[in-house]
Amino acid sequence: MARPGLSAAVLLLLLGFLSVSSVHADTLLSAPLNVTIREIEGNSAIVTWEILEGDPVIGFAITQQKKDVRMLRFIQEVNTTTRSCALWDLDEDTEYIVHVQSISMGGSSPASEPVLFRTPKESEKMASKSPDEVTMEEFGQAAQLRAGELIIIVVVLIMWAGVIVLFCRQYDIIKDNEPNNNKDKAKNSSECSTPEHPQGGLLRSNV
């Protein structure tokens, strides 16, 4: 015959086990899905992922590791619903492995499947860019250069116009003074010339 005290103890242990199992089931998260690396540059990249609908996710944790290197970088953020994160200070032409975990009030989810990617060399990035591809920064720089060139051209044209106007005024002044100069020259030449005798020779006085 079972003792009443022993049966009560077993019942309490069973209830406790069931409650712990229920809490554990409620807080268990699924690993993030569709982890993808986008916008890979020589020194940066962006990792994105998805979660199962209904998971009580309040944040994320990312582990970043160089391939064949044991040192890890750990990134964690809570109180957020974002599904992306920027990776920075990467080395060019280097392979990296990334895992993503979801965070809830009860703990963290299992790590996602590892994602391997390689950062390009800067020279490869420039070579892969189409000649017709222009970034906003390059467009802004080109616009500034064109604006500066236009300003210089306008200033030069204004200076040339001023020089031409000044030359025309000086030419008009010289042209207006030219008849007066001719009259003065003719007058001076007539005053300085020696008068001739009607019969030729110079006049002499009789003694």
Query: Does the structure show a pLDDT above 60 at 101?
Result: yes
Tell me if 207 is assigned to some domain: no
Range with the largest mean pLDDT of 19-33, 53-67, 122-136? 53-67
Question: What mean pLDDT is reported for the chain?
Answer: 77
Query: Does the structure show a pLDDT above 60 at 108?
Result: yes
Q: Are 65 and 149 within one domain?
A: no
Q: Are 95 and 35 within one domain?
A: yes
Range with the largest mean pLDDT of 42-51, 131-140, 141-150, 187-196? 42-51
Range with the largest mean pLDDT of 76-80, 139-143, 181-185? 76-80
Query: Does the structure show a pLDDT above 50 at 12?
Result: no
Q: Are 104 and 157 within one domain?
A: no
Query: Does the structure show a pLDDT above 60 at 70?
Result: yes
Query: Does the structure show a pLDDT above 80 at 114?
Result: yes
Range with the largest mean pLDDT of 2-6, 9-13, 29-33, 193-197? 29-33
Q: Are 103 and 31 within one domain?
A: yes
pLDDT of residue 183: 62
pLDDT of residue 194: 52
Tell me if 79 is assigned to some domain: yes
Q: Are 88 and 152 within one domain?
A: no
Enclosing domain of residue 158 = 144-171
| Mean pLDDT in residue range 97-116 | 94
Among candidate residues 102, 119, 136, the one where a domain is terminated? 119
Q: At 110, which CATH number?
A: 2.60.40.10
Model confidence pLDDT, tens digit, residues 75-91: 999 998 899 999 999 99
Query: Does the structure show a pLDDT above 70 at 128?
Result: no
- DSSP states of the chain: ---HHHHHHHHHHHHHHHHHHHHHHHH--PPPEEEEEES--SS-EEEEEE--TT----EEEEEEEETT---EEEEEEES----EEEE-SPPTT-EEEEEEEEEETTEEPPPPPPEEEEPPPHHHHHHHS-TT---HHHHHHHHHHHHHHHHHHHHHHHHHHHHHHHHHHHHHHHHHHHHHHHHHHHHHHHHHSPPPPTTSS------
Q: Are 113 and 167 within one domain?
A: no
Tell me if 190 is assigned to some domain: no
Residue 79 or residue 195, greater confidence: 79
pTM (global) more than 0.85:
no
pLDDT of residue 41: 94
Tell me if 10 is assigned to some domain: no
